[in-house]
Amino acid sequence: MSQVKEPVTFEGAVCPVPVHLGDTIVLGHGSGGRLMRGLIEGLFLPELDNPVLRAGNDAGRVAVRDDVLLAISTDSHVVWPLFFPGGDIGRLAVCGTVNDVAMLGAEPLYLTASFILEEGLDTGVLHRVVQSMKRAAVEAGVEIIAGDTKVVEKGKADGLYITTAGVGRIYPGVDIGGHRAQPGDLMLLSGPIGDHGIAVLGARGELGFEAKLESDVAPLNHLVRAMLEASPGVHVLRDPTRGGVATALNEIARASGVGIVLEERAIPVRPAVQAACEMLGFDPLFVANEGKLLAAVAPEHAKATLEAMRAQPYGGNAVIIGEVTAEPLGRVLMKTVIGSHRVVDELSGELLPRIC
């Protein structure tokens, strides 16, 4: 067996957990944190390396002609259970990819949907999921224009998995990416965090109490368009899914070579999410969201951007949660409610498997 090549490394990076040939895959390799980054940087990137992948954004930014820039993205969805308060695997599969495309400053246009079905699945379940995909696609204004269906034997999947890919056109003149945060930028967040992760956990019956909480799963492309129409100062957009806000901000800090300082008191968390996190020992900063975005915005444009967000259905509770700094390079700090600072690391290992 050949040797794994030298890992691709990023300046200012917190070390990912390295991967060695002969290691076995664990659930944490899919959780969006340092284990997954070790797999990506140690195994996938050395083989497939190219500037688009290396940029590490939620979608690839590519040209099909000099004057036509596309954002292309994909996500597999293995969430369990298939249905949860506020959503289901179908809505998630559409919104997840729509949002990844939108985070490059693109209008999502077309989706593909590929289904891996487990033998024995009830077609009524599949039908509900497909109806939900349709509703989400209509809401986002995208069309599902190609698909595929595979069936595997009973016990070789878990009901169904859906992989979507999305293609969008980047708005002319827009250049948004994880590397574009600049010291002085303000960090905006579109609403309270952790709803999706805790809602799915509740649907699994793992909370031990009835949390009146719905997943936030939603298409954010109309919110993004409103932000870009209101302001030329949006530098970075990211939806904090697996790994939560903490991991997404660490990715931005690394890619941009900046620090990010958060105000703990500014970060909105619903009481039900806070209560669940306290009971379970989770930090809401690491819990997945599926209908929220983070934006690094030039300070002189922050007010207009925030106002545009608040006028949108999925941005009504948008707030400023911190700012981009020159130091500490590649790290995220939290100014706590008592005035001290603590490091906010990215997710290490496993928090919630199969959350998306």
In angstroms, the Cα distances linking 346 to 117, 242, 253, 286, 343 are 33, 11, 11, 8, 10
Which of 11, 66, 155, 313 is close enough to bind its own copies by CB under 8 A? 155
Which of 41, 73, 177, 185 is close enough to bind its own copies by CB under 8 A? 73
The reply to whether 126 sits near its own copies by the rule CB under 8 A is yes
- Strand boundaries in 208-318, DSSP class E: 234-238, 259-263, 294-297
Beta-ladder partners of 63: 69
The interface region with its own copies, picked from 40-48, 185-193, 282-290, 304-312 by CB under 8 A, is 40-48
Distance CA 329, CA 12 (A): 6
CB of 38 vs its own copies, minimal distance in Å: 10
Nearest to its own copies of 4, 14 (CB atom): 4
Which of 78, 248, 267, 297 is close enough to bind its own copies by CB under 8 A? 78
The reply to whether 136 sits near its own copies by the rule CB under 8 A is no
How many CB atoms are closer than 10 A to CB 148?
10
The reply to whether 188 sits near its own copies by the rule CB under 8 A is no
| Torsion 231-233-235-237 (CA) sign | negative
The interface region with its own copies, picked from 22-30, 185-193, 264-272, 328-336 by CB under 8 A, is 22-30
Q: Please list, in sequence order, all residues whose beta carbon lies within 8 angstroms of the beta carbon of residue 255, skipping any fewer than 6 positions away.
A: 10, 55, 56, 177, 178, 179, 181
Q: Which residues ranging from 44 to 63 are in contact with its own copies (CB under 8 A)?
A: 44, 47-48, 50, 52-53, 59-60, 62
Q: Which residues ranging from 168 to 187 are in contact with its own copies (CB under 8 A)?
A: 169
Which of 15, 27, 311, 326 is close enough to bind its own copies by CB under 8 A? 27
- Residue 121 carries which DSSP code? -
The reply to whether 124 sits near its own copies by the rule CB under 8 A is yes
CB of 4 vs its own copies, minimal distance in Å: 6
Quickly list DSSP for 170-235: EPTT----GGG--TTPEEEE-S-S-HHHHHHHHHTT-SSS-----------HHHHHHHHHH-S-EE
The reply to whether 98 sits near its own copies by the rule CB under 8 A is no
The interface region with its own copies, picked from 106-114, 209-217, 260-268, 299-307 by CB under 8 A, is 106-114
- Residue 108 carries which DSSP code? E
Nearest to its own copies of 205, 313 (CB atom): 205
The reply to whether 204 sits near its own copies by the rule CB under 8 A is no
Q: Which residues ranging from 236 to 255 are in contact with its own copies (CB under 8 A)?
A: none
What's 35-78 look like in SS3? HHHHHHHHHHHHHHCCHHHHCCCCCEEEEEECCEEEEEEEEEEC
The rounded radius of gyration (Å) of the Cα atoms in the chain is 19
Which of 10, 84, 161, 282 is close enough to bind its own copies by CB under 8 A? 161
The reply to whether 64 sits near its own copies by the rule CB under 8 A is yes
Diameter of the chain by CA atoms? 57
Which of 89, 93, 157, 344 is close enough to bind its own copies by CB under 8 A? 157
CB of 147 vs its own copies, minimal distance in Å: 6
Q: What are phi and psi of 91, to 5 degrees?
A: -60, -40
The reply to whether 102 sits near its own copies by the rule CB under 8 A is no
CB of 227 vs its own copies, minimal distance in Å: 22
